[in-house]
Amino acid sequence: MLEVKGLKVSYGGINAVKGIDLEVRAKEMVTLIGANGAGKTTTLKALAGLLKPAEGRVHYNGRDITGRPAFELVRQGLALVPEGRGVFARLTVKENLEMGAYSRGDRARIATDFDRVYALFPRLAERRRQMGGTLSGGEQQMLAIGRALMSRPNLLLLDEPSMGLAPLMVRRIFETVRAIAAEGVTLLLVEQNAKAALETCHRGYVMESGLIALADTAPELLNNPRVRQAYLGE
Amino acid sequence: MDIFLQQLVNGVVLGAIYALVALGYTMVYGILGLINFAHGEVVMIGAMVALTVIQLLLASGVPLPGPVVAAIGLAAAIPTCMLLGFAIERVAYRPLREAPRLAALITAIGMSIVLQNVAMIIWGRRYHSVPSLLPVTPHQFAGATITDLQIFIVLLAALIMAGLLYLVHRTRLGRAMRATSQNPEVAGLMGVNINTVISMTFIIGSALAAVAGLMVSAYYGVAHYVMGFMLGLKAFTAAVLGGIGNLGGAMLGGLLLGVIESLGAGYIGTLTGGFLGSHYQDVFAFTVLILVLVFRPSGLLGERVTERS
Ligand SMILES: Nc1ncnc2c1ncn2[C@@H]1O[C@H](COP(=O)(O)OP(=O)(O)OP(=O)(O)O)[C@@H](O)[C@H]1O
Ligand SMILES: [Mg+2]
């Protein structure tokens, strides 16, 4: 479903991603883990169309989408839940969700998707008239995920959804991620919480200073001594 | 005649015009963090285009009622200004979107000078008198007089502002505009083509400018190629007074500035023992600007001044 070859991304002169290959097959859950500054966010931004790659190709559903802008890709079912959530602070919860459906024209189905998101996150239903900025961190993450679901994605990229959340909320977010995958959405999950991510996903990539250092199935990576030492705190 | 009430009425009329222009500044600032100093010139072009069409119609001898002639003039000025606003953004600001702020600011001032000079070439350096097309019959109203033209200006401005608030707060485009002003990158992730939204912002602001241009030239009875300069500065002051980036703030700021200026002009002679006359009215706007910048830089309704890097 997603195929990345030789992707390089730089900020001005600084190379943040230095040529990576990556693949996500349909209905798969794949995680991308790595230390701070490894280039995970940069990779996701390039895949979602927020950054133009310096080199390399990105294919999505067989189509070359390299360098296509984000607003086009979301129409093709590729959505990103950005790092830091990116909730519109001065839009209500409902308006934030409406923004998620901005790329769609099918009004009737949008209404059912509202119900679906509110069922997944009852807290958002309670707060639908509140401004996004007044929500707690966990609620904002729910809103960011719910908003991305409103675009009816086939491929959902998630950038550190558990960042800065209390353990209970982290567990809820991972449960939600599994529930979304169970509905047939393909997932690429970037996480600092490597253990939870590898326990949730089928396969994983380990990124180190702009390159893919390891690629394997999640159980193998969980047993890999290098991974255990560097990312699982052993 | 009650001077206070009379100047209050005049101030509200002037304030309605300032508010329409201030909205253009504030909308662009809200979305790009840029002061579009060429906006005053868009107002002037609107006035000039409307006037030209009105003069042609009157010269053609076709017997049309005054208000219809004015409406046709406006119908020509609005799309012209929309196109101009669109072009200004495309040509002058879009290439500098990633450039340092100062570059865009200097470009804005340059754009303003270019437009003034183009207008000077087309319409000359002289003052053009604007024929009165609406009845200026004075109505007595609690000791003050108010003309049909004044009533019409206030009503039309109020209607337009209500329409704008509806657009921004109740429609899909408005939601996209608000989202883009809060976080353009995430708006893009939602499927918003932010270039389209930015263009629309300039186009809408310029349409308001066209209306304000005809209003102000009809109100004072003159149009001139530098008329946009002072009007632009005052509307900018109004936007800052209300809290730049805030639509309600621009409306409130415009109204307040109009009233302050009118009252000030009405009383300055008495207050200074005749030393300063009412032609010093421009002093008030800039006194207000300085006071706001010193004591409340975020304006009356502004939450905070955000310097986006
Ligand atoms: N806007 C930017 N301009 C310049 N350099 C940047 C920018 N954003 C990120 N970088 C640099 O690019 C490298 C990769 O950053 P990136 O944000 O992709 O890392 P990450 O793996 O997501 O890290 P984290 O776990 O902290 O989120 C880092 O060295 C970072 O300093
Ligand atoms: Mg990151």
Cβ of A210 less than 6 Å from ligand 1: no
Task: Confirm if B216 and B17 have CB atoms less than 8 A apart.
Answer: yes
Taking residues A134-151, what's their average pLDDT? 96
* Backbone φ, ψ for residue A4 (5° rounding): -120, 130
Chain A residues with beta carbon closer than 8 angstroms to that of B186:
82, 86, 88
Segment among A95-104, B217-226, B265-274 with least mean pLDDT: B265-274
Taking residues B248-277, what's their average pLDDT? 87
B176 and chain A in contact, CB less than 8 A: yes
Of A71, A80, A82, the CB nearest to B193: A71
Chain B residues with beta carbon closer than 8 angstroms to that of A99:
175-176, 179, 187, 190, 192
Chain B residues with beta carbon closer than 8 angstroms to that of A76:
none
Nearest CA to ligand 1 atom 26: A36
Nearest CA in chain B to A81: B189
Provide the pLDDT for residue B265. 85
Number of domains in chain B: 1
Tell whether pTM > 0.80. Answer: yes
Q: Is residue B309 part of a domain?
A: no
Provide the pLDDT for residue B2. 79
Provide the pLDDT for residue B98. 87
* Inter-chain contacts counted by CB atoms under 8 A, chains A and B: 64
Q: Rounded to 5 degrees, what angle do the CA atoms A183, A184, A188 make?
A: 110
The answer to whether the CB atoms of A70 and B188 lie below 8 A apart is yes
| DSSP notation for A189-211 | EEES-HHHHHHH-SEEEEEETTE
| Domain membership of residue B270 as a residue range | 2-295
Nearest atom within ligand 1 for CA of residue A160 = 27
User: Encoding tokens for residue A106?
Assistant: 């099918």
A82 and chain B in contact, CB less than 8 A: yes
The minimum CA-CA distance between A86 and chain B, rounded to whole Å, is: 6
pLDDT at B309 over 50: no
Q: For A168-220, how does the pLDDT look when each residue is reduced to its tens digit (9 = 90+)? A: 999 999 999 999 999 999 999 999 899 999 999 999 999 999 999 999 999 99
Mean residue pLDDT across chain A = 94
Residue B73: closest CA among B182, B218, B205: B218
- Kindly report the CATH number assigned to the domain that includes residue A125: 3.40.50.300
How many Å separate Cα A110 from the centre of its chain? Answer: 21
Residue with tokens 């993450």: A141
A110 and chain B in contact, CB less than 8 A: no
Residue with tokens 């007074």: B241
* Backbone φ, ψ for residue A139 (5° rounding): -65, -40
Provide the pLDDT for residue B307. 41
pLDDT at B306 over 70: no
Residues ≥6 apart with Cβ < 8 Å to B148: B134, B135, B136, B137, B139
Provide the pLDDT for residue A107. 86
Provide the pLDDT for residue A234. 67
Q: Is residue B33 part of a domain?
A: yes
User: Encoding tokens for residue A135?
Assistant: 């929500």
Chain A residues with beta carbon closer than 8 angstroms to that of B193:
69, 71
Q: Whose atoms come closest to the Cα of A192: which ligand? A: 1
Provide the pLDDT for residue A158. 97
| Domain membership of residue A182 as a residue range | 2-231
The answer to whether the CB atoms of B175 and A91 lie below 8 A apart is yes
Segment among A65-74, A141-150, B13-22, B284-293 with least mean pLDDT: B284-293
Taking residues B264-284, what's their average pLDDT? 78
Task: Confirm if A196 and A209 have CB atoms less than 8 A apart.
Answer: no
Provide the pLDDT for residue B303. 66
Of B186, B192, B194, the CB nearest to A82: B186
CB < 8 Å from B in window 2-41 of A: none
Chain B residues with beta carbon closer than 8 angstroms to that of A75:
191
- Kindly report the CATH number assigned to the domain that includes residue B203: 1.10.3470
Provide the pLDDT for residue B283. 86
Nearest CA in chain B to A80: B189
Q: How far apart are CA B290 and CA B45, in angstroms?
A: 28
Mean residue pLDDT across chain B = 92
- Name the band, by pLDDT with cuts 50, 70 and 90, for residue B78: very high
Of A88, A102, A103, the CB nearest to B183: A88
Taking residues A18-42, what's their average pLDDT? 95
Q: Is residue B300 part of a domain?
A: no
Number of domains in chain A: 1
- Name the band, by pLDDT with cuts 50, 70 and 90, for residue B1: low
Task: Confirm if A197 and A30 have CB atoms less than 8 A apart.
Answer: no
Segment among A97-111, A117-131, B201-215, B263-277 with least mean pLDDT: B263-277
Residues ≥6 apart with Cβ < 8 Å to A94: A128, A129
Q: For A72-98, how does the pLDDT look when each residue is reduced to its tens digit (9 = 90+)? A: 999 999 999 999 999 999 999 999 999
